Amino acid sequence: PPRATAAAPSTDEAIAILIGLAAEMYGFKDDQGEPANVTARTFGLVAPVNLYTAFSSAAARFLNSTGGDSDLTAQRFRFDVYLEPRLTSTTVVYPFVADAVSKGLILQSEVEPTVEVDNSDWIKNRRQLVKAYASRRVAPGDFRKICKATLS
């Protein structure tokens, strides 16, 4: 069989990567030095087009395994894999904790920018305060709930 690469891992390699990513995220600490993701059972993985098949096959294989013979099933957690065609790197994935109260990814809605003008200081000091706000796309949220993983 052809040798797998970082840009095209086999399903078995993808399973090993998922286990390693979950273990790494379980090790993140909160501001008190306690495990931040100890209750996590569901993880998400945002993957580019070339990695989607391997990781979605790996996630489906352990999710649908019967008898608890899969390494991932034995760990009692699961991964949901999300395809993101806008990712440009062929060896980078973004794992996140999907079942936490604070979210690893913040989905921002695209809205028209709003502008506020405060004239209360204009008469006395000839100053005017202007605030502008716009919201766009997706951004990392809680840094303990998401990370960037480069495959090698």
What pLDDT, in 10s, does the model give residues 62-113? 766 544 445 555 557 788 999 988 888 999 999 999 988 777 777 666 666 6
pLDDT of 82 reads 92
- Residue 37: other Cβ atoms inside 10 A: 21
| 117 bridge partner residues | 130
pLDDT of 67 reads 46
Residue 61's pLDDT band (cuts 50, 70, 90):
confident
Q: What are the phi and psi torsion angles at 97 (to 5°)?
A: -80, 120
Q: Residue 113 half-sphere exposure, CB side, CA atoms within 13 Å?
A: 7
Higher pLDDT, 134 or 61: 61
The dihedral over CA atoms of 138, 140, 145, 148, expressed in degrees to the nearest 10, equals: 100
DSSP state of 148: -
* Structure confidence by residue, pLDDT tens digits, 44-59: 999 999 999 999 999 9
pLDDT of 66 reads 45
